[in-house]
Structure 1
Amino acid sequence: MTTATHSPGDVALAPHTMPEAVATRFRLPHVETSRFIAFWLGLPMRTGAEDSSAAVAAALADVDDVADRGIADLDGMFVLLVYDKRGKTWSVYGDSNGILPLYYDDIGCSTSILGMLSDRTYTIDDLDRRAVVDFYLHGVVLSRRTLLRSVHRLPRRTVLVLRREGGAAVRPLQDVARAAEDSETCVERYFADHARLLGQRRVTVLLTGGSDSRWLFCLARHHLARFRTVIAGEPHSAEVAVAEKVAATAEVSLDVVPETVANIDEDLETMFLDGDGVVNLVQHHRTWQMACHESALGQDVLIHGGGGEFFRDTFSYQDIPIYVGKPNIEKFYRLRLSLSSAVPPFTEPVYVREIRREVLDRMHGIASADKHRTYNEIYLIMKAPWIFGGVYAMYRRRGLHVFAPFLDGRNVAVALARPIAQKMLHRWHRRVVSRRCPQLARIPMTTGMTLSDAPLDMLVDAAAYMRDVSLRVVNKLARRWWGRSPFAMGASAVGRHPDLAEAVRGARVTERALGALAAAGILHRDQARERALAVEELGRLVTVGLLVERLTVGTP
């Protein structure tokens, strides 16, 4: 077994690429068996393996045909490139839920859209304008598209095959039956399974004022001898105050990384590259700065609570108090997926109706009789790979691998199978945190609820729960109609820099991006000015505008 030097960058393949070229150009870690050579980006893991090399080697051991069986047993976030020496073909695999992105076209594949722009001759004519509208409406691309017409994203549970004679084909990943997990302990067991690997890395736990990060913080205290704890937010904000109380109670130091806007132009330019042109530059500016901070300190793994929503009733809030019956797809779309009801200031508004119809058709294709499972599966299949994948890949380009137990396939499968009654009032979180860290369970979150499973605490929390759900629905409606949320929750509770909106609006990068969209005939500048776009809307336009600029004038 041989292992190359790790690089946090991206990788590109063509059907004729030889393994030696991958090792030389991209310096990826790799292992070799008698039949296969495997390279990877990210952090593949396997129960009992002390590191990623051992995990991949075990996955490929004793495999004499396709490598699916062993690879389907890997945990973690990764892209794995397997060269079959006998068949002289490449098979490219994503992680269990397709979170880390892989893109492909008729020429080959890459983990970076911007990388494909550098290697190809794409121009503004290759831009998919419907996908631009999709990104503006939803913050991600919910239709079966990317921002480039001929570029596709590899779906979850599929394999991309590149044959030596040329061409790319996508086939389903061969299903591998895994032993059923116990619902209450699946995440705990997952964390314990990989604690040895994490113990060899420089780990940071992202602690917030919510339930998901507290659950993982609690497990980290039990399984890891050392780790850093960090929150990205403004000092004295509501969520930072909760995180500080949790850390103080646990007698752990907390590093608060406040957002800064002094170098906003440079930040947006660099973040556009790190985010690969698919990450909202305003929405994730704060956490990107946190990733830069941790990377500068030499940290290389971030424990993140993404996917904790599947263990709660998050995607069913819009149906309260009627939790029975068939799924209401249109209502779920309006209140949970669509970010704006207003017609965007684009030159071709007809695309709005087409995209919404296409997205709704795709949602109906996922729907089943179980309304709550339907909502979760829609989010898992259509939104999670984009919203988490883009951000996690951005962190990886900063040198931070992401450990996100709630998003791993075997844990999500357990969460999807559980009835809604076991998720309400954070019941799943309560059972684990109350048992493992009772002192931390009693500290109120930013919602006002605790994670204590004591009957009296749960009774008091029920009122806070209804208040929290109601405010979230009001905020969602307000964002759709007025572009702003009246109540501080989520990112607002953490605290944005007070000058962020003004800094983004006055940035040279913003002017260039909007100018590129207008010059390409996509954006009505006058309508955009009249609308007084909210800063989150502006972030989506700046992201797409910088991509349009590259397609128009070429990559610098």
Structure 2
Amino acid sequence: MLITSEGITQWQSKEQAWEDANYIVGWKGFVFILGVAAGIESVMAFLEELRMSGMIGAVKVLKGHFFMTVYDKQAEMYYAFIDNSGAFEAFHMDAIVSTSFLALAKKSGYGKEQISKDSIIEFLNFGNIYDNRTLVDGIFKIDCNEIIVLCNHKKTIVSKKLESLEDACPKLDVIEFFRLFSQSVKTMKVSADLTGGVDSRLVCVLLDHHGVPFEAAITGMNGIQDVEVPKQVAKELKHELFISEPSIDRLEQSVPELFDWCDGMNDLFKHYRTLPHHKNREERGVDLVVSGIGGEFFKENMWVQDFPFYIRKKSNIRRFLRMRMLQIKCKNTYFAGDYKQLNESFEDRVVEKLGYYLLDTNTKTYDSIYYHFRMKTVASTYISAASHLFGCYSPFLEYDLVRYGFHLKRRERFFNQYHRKMITQLNPKVAKIRTAEGGISVSYEKVEMLKDMVKYIRNRTRRAAKVLGRKLFHKTYLQESPEHPELFRTIRNMQLTKKAFAKLKKEGILDDQLQLSDILDTHLGNMVTIALFMRFLEGEDVREGHGEQESNLAVATV
């Protein structure tokens, strides 16, 4: 969907519209109001709220992960915004809004000179661009607290006036939230992610408790704990489990589709498993995928680098960056000229940016950084990609639930205490099934918790060793991988990878003497994606027909 003051063009698959006498609403993704059927019925209820409360009041009742545009026929004005949790990607530049970064980049007419050197270094290190920026200077992501207004060829940005994380904790009953959510999706075919961890298990137990007839699904190599554990959980819950094993057959031929799927916004190879996995779901008629992303805000995972000191006044932002965000920094030897100097100072610049999120205690600071800076970027890339096929929703990323988790007492998040209480209350048998996280259970029974404590300490020690190994040896040790074992060997041998490597040398980014064998696995996909995007800006159709589609959408009317 591409929107200007003149109207909406370039409708894509799964983008919908609704029209009445006063408004035209277009949306993509999963949108609902608690207790109201998702989609059109919730959109109609939103319009009623809009008439009574105005735009700022109305957007606050919407839940889900979506982009929405509202055309006010009388005012001849477009409003455009994303969900209040920031879990969907949409973009703006000048007086144009789009659900596709690639479509907007093409519309802009910009060349590769609009990619700043800072952005290139950030993408090659992280595989993403943070802080509502994109690879192109002048094109920005819409923030969750923004409403973009287009009128008379001009753009203005209005605040939604959302509460901040540290504002008073919202009054919320998580079980009641899921009951109402279940009512909103009762006519949809739901597929729930189920891994070997605790977040997806909690979501599945809550869905099961409220009678949602969902299927469970996982992608990964058979035999690893992240696949074997879900088999036990699904069997106990009596829900069918579908497993998609990753394949690297025709991986090079699938690159154009992967590039389009990720919209050029992150490492395209991160999606080689999820794309066929989601296509399998689509073939089964799935309407909505539900995941456990965001469950981090109900446990201590983001704080473990400071274990057990969770109420310190001083935050170590650099250590948080190194352990939770920047897994392996690019080697300075990769780069040529200015890029070498920018990479040398890259970590310092990021630490300075993250200082903006500093709060009164270390754990609050880490929560704030993880949500505002990292999660809204990383999660939205995957959620927006999946929305090409169906709705995608992570309940624990809903802003009210994030704020609720933020305000939990530190001890309630320690040792998976919140998850343990909830799962044990709803399904004690499922709670006792061991997880892929060091073999601990999620039971709240004292005997089980005593058994788990030793394993918990051992798991934390293994995690520390894994991080140390990653920093010293640039490899991940002591962890099963869901990836195909030949993935990176295959990527290295692709002609497309070699062409991308040569392209980045030609552009003066990589050192002329650098060999492809010198590039670490974790940076390969970032380099291929950057090179493809440069070719895209030069006018080359690297997507081979997988891009945006212009069509006349049949708009529903009342």
In structure 2, how many angstroms separate the alpha carbons of the residues matched to 1:512 and 1:527? 14
Superposition map of 1:440-479 within 5 A: 440-447=430-437, 448-479=439-470
Distance, in Å, in 2 between the alignment partners of 1:249 and 1:547 is 46
Letter in 1 for 2:331: V
User: Match of 2:405?
Assistant: 415
Correspondence for 2:362: 371
* Counterparts in 2 of 1:223 and 1:179: CA distance versus 1, 3 Å: farther
Query: Is the Cα–Cα contact under 8 Å of residues 2 and 11 in structure 2 kept in the other structure?
Result: no
1:321 aligned to 2:308? yes
Residue 370 of structure 1 deviates from its aligned partner by: 2.3
1:216 to 200, 203, 221: 203
TM-score between both structures, scaled by the size of structure 1: 0.90
Q: Supply the distance in 1 between the matched residues of 2:319 and 2:241 (Cα, whole angstroms).
A: 40
Would you say the 8 A contact 1:41–1:79 is kept in 2? yes
Q: Which residue does 1:5 correspond to in 2? A: none
CA contact (8 A) 2:49 2:58 kept: no
Identical pairs, percent = 22
Structure 1 contact 134–143 (Cα < 8 Å) conserved:
no
Equivalent residues in 2 for 1:114-513, closer than 5 Å? 114-143=102-131, 145-163=133-151, 165-175=152-162, 181=170, 185-186=173-174, 188-325=175-312, 326-344=314-332, 345-347=334-336, 348-397=339-388, 399-447=389-437, 448-489=439-480, 492=481, 495-513=482-500
TM-aligned CA distance change 1:389 to 1:202, over 3 Å: same
Q: Is the 8 A contact 2:23 2:73 kept in 1?
A: yes
Partners of 2:217 and 2:243 within 8 A in 1: yes
Q: Partners of 2:283 and 2:157 in 1: how far apart?
A: 38
Please say if residues 434 and 442 of structure 2, whose CA atoms lie closer than 8 Å, have aligned partners that are also in contact: yes
Contact 2:231 2:241 in 1 (8 A): yes
SS of 1:90's partner is strand
The question of 1:541 aligning with 2:527 is answered: yes
Distance 2:426 2:530 in 1: 45
Q: Distance in 1 between matches of 2:133 and 2:92?
A: 12
CA contact (8 A) 1:504 1:535 kept: no
Equivalent residues of 2:65, 2:83 under 8 A apart: yes
Q: CA RMSD in A?
A: 2.3
Q: How many residues align?
A: 534
Give 1:7's aligned residue: none
Query: More deviation in 499-508 or 142-151?
Result: 142-151
**Greater relative contact order (Cα < 8 A, sep 6+):** 2
Task: Classify the secondary structure of the residue corresponding to 1:463.
Answer: helix
Of 62-71 and 451-460, deviating more is: 62-71
CA distance in 2, matches of 1:152, 1:286: 28
Kept after mapping to 1: 8 A contact 2:134/2:265: no
Residue from 68, 76, 99 that aligns with 1:80: 68
Distance in 1 (CA, whole Å) between partners of 2:324 and 2:534 is 28
CA change 1:25–1:382 in 2 (3 A) is: closer
1:423 match: secondary structure: helix
- In the TM superposition, 1:45-56 aligns within 5 A as 45-56=32-43
Cα pair 1:346 1:522 within 8 Å, conserved:
yes
Change (3 A) 1:354 1:68: farther
1:163-184 C-alpha deviation (Å, 9 max, x unpaired): 2x2232222113479996556x
Change (3 A) 1:542 1:23: closer
Equivalence for 2:548: none
Measured after TM superposition, the shift of residue 383 of structure 1 is 1.0
- How far apart in 1 are the matches of 2:510 and 2:359? 38
Q: Distance in 2 between matches of 1:500 and 1:61?
A: 51
Name the aligned partner's letter for residue 431 of structure 1.
K
1:309-337: per-residue Cα shift (whole Å, max 9, x none)? Answer: 11111110100132231221122122222
User: Does the residue aligned with 1:439 lie in a helix, a strand or coil?
Assistant: helix
1:93 counterpart SS class: strand
What SS class does the counterpart of residue 485 from structure 1 fall into?
A: coil
Counterpart CA distance in 1 for 2:275 and 2:179 is: 28
Question: Any idea what SS the aligned residue of 2:436 has?
Answer: coil
Partner deviation per Cα, 1:488-541 (whole Å, 9 max, x = no partner): 15xx2xx3212112111112332232232222222236425352x332221222
The runs of 5 or more residues in structure 1 that have no matched partner are 1-10
Aligned residue in 2 for 1:550: 536
Distance 1:355 1:170 in 2: 30
Q: Is the 8 A contact 2:116 2:137 kept in 1?
A: yes
Query: Partner letter of residue 143 of structure 2?
Result: P
SS at 1:51 equivalent: coil
Residue aligned with 2:387, SS: helix
